[in-house]
Amino acid sequence: MAARGYGATPRWAAVGLLVALLVALPSVVAALPADDADVPAADLRAAVLASADVGFSGYAVSAGGLALPVSDRLTAVADLFSDRTLVRVWWRGPEEHRVDVVTAAGETGVHRDPGGTWTWDFEAATATRGSPASLALPSPPDLLPAALGRRLLSEAAEDELSRAGARRVAGRDALGLRVVPADAASSVGRVDVWVDPASGLPLQVEVFAEDADLPALDTRFLDLDLAVPPADVVAFTPPPDATVLPAPDTEELIAQAEERAPDVSLPDELAGLPRRTFAGVPDAVGVYGRGVTLLAAAPLPGRLAGGLREALTASPDAVTDELGTRVAAGPLGLMLVTPPDGPAYVLTGTVTLDALADAARRLPGAAS
């Protein structure tokens, strides 16, 4: 279909009012009593992991408190984790869905099909085609409560799981499932996932840093219809007058990282976390850990290292020493490693600053 569901500019005043009303709803609904049920944590997790094909539509909002000190090349990612984002979603399955980011100024829709994604910016009349990749930057669909809840629970060990009562979310009783990471390197204190017991869909996900009272990331449904949406609402064909753009090629960026350090091979373990393997990812790029606790390491070209160093050192909480510069934004750590011999590296993940420093010491050419 050609951009169905995107209206003209005059309607955005009404959309702005809708945004304000929807964002105000969670605090009102959450105050209503909820009925708990005697469902074991392991059974509730199994229901969540089996919910990927449950069809639904509705509105969701994510609110992040992660003020990421990144360069202007990653502002879209930084905004996703630091701002309040309202989305409308139509979900037919993991490879067939649509997620629109709704603001008072317009909408940007991400349409997923088996071949990849279309990102449609209505105001700019641009359509960007992206292909699936083993490693990709986060986008609005990744922060949907259902998608994020499944991912964070997928690798949790049974001894990390417990029940957490019940609450009302999107007008439904939601059962609480808590994950407390066991990895010593983790900077995440806990993750609370609130689940619709009938469908297994996560309705709300809260991520807390260690010893924090407020979540660093809170994503929840505001309104939810558990019915499979029509296929023509999800599908997308660029309008004839649209400008079609290619998406940034993640594989090309990885190849550039490999070219920057062709002879570098990362260790099998960093900060006590085992390395993961992904098809097509070179030895110079590494991902470590599991579930809630993840750490990524990659060489950084000099032209990018300078910008990142400037952004990190501007933070009043930055720690700079012989290893480099590191900073934490809630449970997310970010470090620029500047070894005396070899390329600069960027380390980032849900690990502590001490874990980042430990990982930096084990990189090729790093200071001891």
What's the pLDDT tens digit per position in 235-261? 999 999 999 988 665 555 555 555 555
Mean pLDDT of 214-243: 94
Query: Which residue spans of the chain are classified as CATH 3.30.200?
Result: 250-361
Q: DSSP code of 138?
A: -
The full DSSP string for 114-144 is TTEEEEEETTTTEEEEE---SS----GGGGS
In the predicted structure, residue 56 carries a pLDDT above the cut 90: yes
Q: DSSP code of 73?
A: G
Q: Which residues contact 67 (CB under 8 A, 6 or more apart)?
A: 78, 82, 329
Answer with the residue of higher pLDDT: 347 or 134: 347
* Pairwise CA distance, residues 47 & 51, whole Å: 6
pTM: 0.82
Mean pLDDT of 263-284: 83
The angle at the Cα of 257, spanning 253 to 259, to the nearest 5 degrees, equals 115
Q: Tell me what pLDDT residue 191 has.
A: 96
Containing 260, the helix (H) or strand (E) segment is: helix 250-260
**Fold category of 250-361 in CATH:** Phosphorylase Kinase; domain 1 (3.30.200)
SS3 at position 27: helix
* Pairwise CA distance, residues 159 & 297, whole Å: 28
Least confident of 162-176, 303-317, 337-351: 303-317
* Pairwise CA distance, residues 168 & 34, whole Å: 5
Using only C-alpha atoms, what is the Rg of the chain? 21
> Over pLDDT 90: what percentage of the chain?
52
Which of the four pLDDT bands, split at 50, 70 and 90, describes residue 29?
A: very low
Which of the four pLDDT bands, split at 50, 70 and 90, describes residue 120?
A: very high
Strands 126-130 and 243-246: parallel
Specify the length of the chain in residues: 368
Burial of 39 (0-12, 13-18, 19+ CB in 10 A): middle
Which of the four pLDDT bands, split at 50, 70 and 90, describes residue 55?
A: very high
Q: Tell me what pLDDT residue 80 has.
A: 53
Which of the four pLDDT bands, split at 50, 70 and 90, describes residue 353?
A: very high
Which of the four pLDDT bands, split at 50, 70 and 90, describes residue 304?
A: confident
| CATH architecture, domain 41-246 | Clam (2.50)
Least confident of 147-156, 198-207, 277-286, 341-350: 277-286
CB 300 within 8 A of CB 256: no
Smallest CA-to-CA distance from 148 within 217, 91, 205 is with 205
Query: Which residue spans of the chain are classified as CATH 2.50.20.10?
Result: 41-246
Pull the structure tokens for residue 352. 């502590």
* Pairwise CA distance, residues 241 & 243, whole Å: 7
In the predicted structure, residue 7 carries a pLDDT above the cut 80: no
CB 205 within 8 A of CB 148: yes
Pull the structure tokens for residue 186. 């983790």
